Structure 1
Amino acid sequence: MRGAKARDLLSRIGARNLELTHDAFDQLRGSTAAEHLRAILEHHRMLPQREPLPLVRFETWLTERVAQLPDDGTRATIGRFGTWHHLRRTRRRADHATAQLQTVTHAAKQEITEAGKFLLWLRDTYDVGPAALQQAHVDEYLSSGTSTRRHIRNFVRWLNPEQQRHGANRLDAPRRAAQSEPQLTQSQRIQLVVNCLTLEQVTLSTRIAGLLLLLWAHPLNKIVALTTADVTLEPDAMHIRLGKIPTLVPEAIAPMFWTHVRNRANQQTTNTGTDWLFPGTRAGHHLHESTLSERLLVLGIDGQRARNATLRDLGRELDPKSLINTLGYAPAIIAAHVARAGGSGSDYVTLRRRELGDQAR
């Protein structure tokens, strides 16, 4: 209400000069005040809920990005890749309440951008389009530039059906391997847990998020998407659901968790009544993972290093199946971390796959 832009929007609504429709708000694209007001109206059911904001923004970005490309076959090819591979996939993911659309759309933008750069390079260097693409072109492009070029892998593989219709050989590009795996020592991890427990001058929500990362290796994009329904309080214990099986919250920190659940942030503002465990400042939305990442730095926590260290230490203490069910990670990720940690049962996934194969035969 104190901002001039917000006052102007509300005055226009009151004077019936701005309709309460999504189409009307779409005409105000680029206005932070308009998007904030739209979120409030949706949250309080004065506007109908529409597609998730990350999906809407991705559609807009895709249209603008494709329009910037030359109309020599590049624009059409990237348009099809963005629409039929990434946008369709993102729409399917949006149907699931637990989908991490921010992460999905970020990765999609990287791949689409790098695919466009690749086709521009192909045209500038050899004056050919995607129909004439050969494996030698892919290999040369990957070997002559930065590691970000490896994001073309899915695009190259997506092109294969079209290439094979023209009688060309199957194309491929290697996965982008991480150059390093940053992580903490055990003593550093323990000290960060102590920071979460004792630094009371830091907001409780940030300390709770830090514990979820340091004790259970829960990724930041999944931490912010937790809801109050994921926390259950029974007469003798508190549990939190991160994977298929709820995990016990240690008795020593359960009071902290319960205090946070009852006193979550932004409940006296526009985001009142939300079920998010970490509500954001925008009505109906949870905290953004990049915001949480910045807040954790106050505690000395780097998300990636802390996650790797926690998975390593848990891999030494628990068997892979328990970790998969409790933490909600994919089997391949758990197997890799357990193997690096030298934990028992590091070959569990491989053995289980063989077992299922034998049963099928």
Structure 2
Amino acid sequence: MTMNELRGRGRPRSSGTHRCDRCRNLVARIRVHWPDGAVCGACFSSAVNASGACAHCREFRLLPGRSPIGEEICRDCAGITTNLTCSKCGREAERRRGGHCAACIVTEDLTGILKPNEPPDLRLHRLIRELASTDRPRSIITWMRLPEAQALLNSIGARTLELSHESFDALPPAHSVEHLREMLVHHHILPGRGDIRLFRFEAWLDTRLGSFEDRPRIHQPLEVFGRWHHLRRLRTMPPQTNMDYATRSAKQEITEAGKFMVWLDTEHGLHIDKIRQEHIDLYWSEGPSTRKHIRNLLQQRKLTGKGRALKAKARQAVASPMSSTTSRLNAIRTVIEADEVYLGTRIAAIIFLLYGTPIGKLASLQSNQIHADANGMTIALGSQPATIPEPLIPLFTDHLRHGANSRSMNKESPWLFPSTMAGQHISGNALWNRLKIFDLQPLATRNTTLFDLSKELDPASLSALLGYTSMTMTKHAAHAGMQMGSYPATMPTRGEFGPEIT
């Protein structure tokens, strides 16, 4: 797969006849000429938004320059004479409208829209200050130009939208509304309301049950299943639970339960309390495999004494797809070399390929689960830390320093892969859509990874390292012909875990 094929979504670079000396691409025009050569617009934008310790003078400054060996250096050390000082605040930054930096533009525009002094509102002053101080204030400018964002901000400025959850609840459901709400919660301008996914599930459940209000034979048992089984269970789940997957699973089971009860009522004129085993067998035999998701409904009614002891077999996988070890190792090499792909996407792909971490768990990893010391770097996926191969440490270090915390709406985010939604991590589906750029097959790749690792370590050790249950790892060990489920769990020494990477 070529680098051009691995480029992510977004506006493609314009082709032309001018060669950029930084990215080496042919472009329509050159933005500036600096001592290290011609610089295209994309490289200029990256350069004037990078800051840190200069590789030469060690001062913490804007780092637009490049040394002959590719080090990031400041303007003075690079000999760059382009004016990169904001004419309003005096900070080093890209000069935009009127010679002002993006942070000053955000402050000026939001002050004009939100009118924080008419009358004085400390919360609005804080919102303006927080948005202007993000690592990427230019992205705030882009967001403010969206019609949905403009309408919401104008309503706040006109004082027709109060800063309260009740006011936001009264608005028509929309992504833009939740985006702004979570931004206000993240910056402590609105109080938190617990896990946002649980809140969304409750709203979805109310709507779903409302669609059956005129059919009490369905509404009553579905409400018991939705509220007293799923909602109560979700509310008591431990903090480390992946609520994205938990709520999606609950929604699917409730949806399928509703379909089943509609089928009973429409086709057979039956309430769910009156069903027999032949009804279940018929329903499962004549429809798609998703109908098997009514199993928990039947089990729940049996346990609560609301139904008979009917057979409800769990859905079994028809096949266990696998890819080859060679293709997995080639994929790891491709990901490592894909310099033009966003680093966060590459880090997620590396973790998935090295450790077989489920996508849902991968999306919810926190930055503090990666630990570095004089002995190397590890990642905590289970009860024992797993070693990150030494050649990959610079990639992980770079992501921790610049990528994991750079989301403008997610400043100081604890997540390894933050969402564009303030305070949230990326969803499993969104992360997998990013990984599709590497043409990975989710189940086949995960099975192959666990198959390969099962040939290197016993199931108990892998369970501790990867966070899977011992039963799961024993099954993979049996598949790999390495039945060692009774071996004691021991922490492997460095260098024993993961494929050799050179």
| Fold shared by both chains (TM-score > 0.5) | yes
Of the three residues 292, 299, 310, the one matched with 1:150 is 292
Deviation at 1:307, TM superposition (A): 0.9
AA paired with 2:255? T
| 2:179 corresponds to | 36
Deviation at 1:236, TM superposition (A): 2.5
Q: Report SS of the residue matched to 1:184.
A: coil
| 2:274 corresponds to | 132
d(CA) in 1 for partners of 2:283 and 2:459? 39
Instruction: Say which is worse superposed, 148-157 or 70-79, in terms of deviation.
Output: 70-79
| 1:310 corresponds to | 449
d(CA) in 1 for partners of 2:463 and 2:168? 43
Q: Report SS of the residue matched to 2:230.
A: helix
| 1:280 corresponds to | 419
Task: Note the 1:58-207 alignment, pairs <5 A.
Answer: 58-69=201-212, 70-93=214-237, 96-161=238-303, 164=305, 169-207=308-346
RMSD: 1.7
Contact 2:404 2:415 in 1 (8 A): no
Deviation at 1:132, TM superposition (A): 1.0
AA paired with 2:358? P
AA paired with 2:263? W
d(CA) in 1 for partners of 2:172 and 2:477? 47
Percent identical among aligned pairs is 38
| 1:352 corresponds to | none
AA paired with 1:82? G
| 2:458 counterpart of 1:319 | yes
Per-residue CA distance 1:32-61 (angstroms, 9 max, x = gap): 221111111111110111121211111111
Gaps of 5+ in 2: 1-143, 489-502
Deviation at 1:5, TM superposition (A): 2.2
Larger Rg: 2
Structure of greater relative contact order (alpha carbons < 8 Å, 6+ residues apart): 1
Deviation at 1:332, TM superposition (A): 2.2
| 2:188 counterpart of 1:45 | yes
Instruction: From the superposition, tell whether residues 193 and 65 of structure 1 become closer, same or farther in structure 2 (CA, over 3 Å).
Output: same
d(CA) in 1 for partners of 2:289 and 2:148? 43
d(CA) in 2 for partners of 1:88 and 1:66? 16
Deviation at 1:31, TM superposition (A): 2.1
Contact 1:213 1:303 in 2 (8 A): no
Task: Note the 1:197-236 alignment, pairs <5 A.
Answer: 197-236=336-375
| 1:356 corresponds to | none
| 1:333 corresponds to | 472
Structure richer in helix, relative to its length: 1
Contact 1:316 1:344 in 2 (8 A): no
| 1:359 corresponds to | none
Deviation at 1:136, TM superposition (A): 2.1
Deviation at 1:97, TM superposition (A): 3.0
TM-score by length of 1: 0.91
Deviation at 1:303, TM superposition (A): 2.2
Deviation at 1:11, TM superposition (A): 2.2
Aligned length: 344
Contact 1:205 1:260 in 2 (8 A): yes
Per-residue CA distance 1:244-276 (angstroms, 9 max, x = gap): 111111111111111111011562511111111
